[in-house]
Amino acid sequence: MAWTDDRVATLTKMWGEGQSASQIAKELGGVTRNAVIGKVHRLGLSNRATGGAKTGAKAKPAAKPATARAKPAAKAAATPASIAPKTPLPPRKAIIPAGQPLPPQPSANEISPEALATVREVEKGAKKISLMELTERTCKWPIGDPATEEFWFCGLTSEPGKPYCEAHVGVAFQPMSSRRDRKR
């Protein structure tokens, strides 16, 4: 359905007379109530005129509401820049594409050498299972780079109520006091 000049004239006349969008849609035929409402807004007729003579004048100043709408948008766009110095955004984390090695994790440097030695010994005797072999009772500690074929999970018996074996629980779940000390 196309909005011809005759149909637009009928729409503006009936809208100016105060008829509902449903009544206008029935009169025009082949158009829905929502299509009438959309056309009314695009024509700038959203405010109803009290008399039929004003409808012609209402149809032309459609540019004024559009420019009036553009100014608040420009202010809204300027608002975040004015706020930025007051509240800086947190730094974004880099997205590493698949197949690229992961950067060294800062937590690995903070683990005690004894715990690392224990983990290394445990990993030598690990079952080296794949993702599809994991169960509720197997250690789900990932080892290696997931983008390579040398990636596997520990697979030893996990601690009750934990996702990891005893050695990996000792690395993963650190006491609250040691975490607080690190932040200082």
Q: Which domain holds residue 145?
A: 109-183
Report the alpha-carbon distance of residue 42 to residue 68 in Å, rounded. 14
pLDDT band for position 60 (50/70/90)?
A: very low
The answer to pTM > 0.85 is no
Q: What is the pLDDT of residues 7-55, one digit of tens each?
A: 999 999 999 899 999 999 999 999 999 999 999 998 888 676 554 444 4
Residue 179 has pLDDT above 80, yes or no: no
Among candidate residues 77, 94, 119, the one where a domain is terminated: 77
At residue 157, what are phi and psi to the nearest 5 degrees? Answer: -65, 130
Among candidate residues 26, 61, 77, the one where a domain is terminated: 77
User: Could you tell me the two tokens for 56?
Assistant: 């012609």
Instruction: Lowest mean pLDDT of 69-78, 160-169, 175-184, name the range.
Output: 69-78
The total number of structural domains that make up the chain: 2
Q: What is the pLDDT of residues 122-168, one digit of tens each?
A: 888 888 899 999 999 999 999 888 888 889 999 999 999 999 998 88
Among candidate residues 77, 97, 130, the one where a domain is terminated: 77
**Partners of 152 in the beta sheet?**
143
Q: Which helix (H) or strand (E) holds 152?
A: strand 152-153
DSSP letter for 94, please.
P
Q: With respect to residue 57, please indicate whether it lies within any of the assigned structural domains.
A: yes
Q: What is the pLDDT of residues 84-128, one digit of tens each?
A: 455 565 666 566 677 666 665 545 446 667 777 777 888 888 888
Instruction: Give the list of residues 6+ apart from residue 137 with CB closer than 8 angstroms, or none.
Output: 157, 158
Residue 178 has pLDDT above 50, yes or no: yes
Return mean pLDDT, the chain. 74
At residue 138, what are phi and psi to the nearest 5 degrees? Answer: -105, 150
Q: With respect to residue 86, please indicate whether it lies within any of the assigned structural domains.
A: no
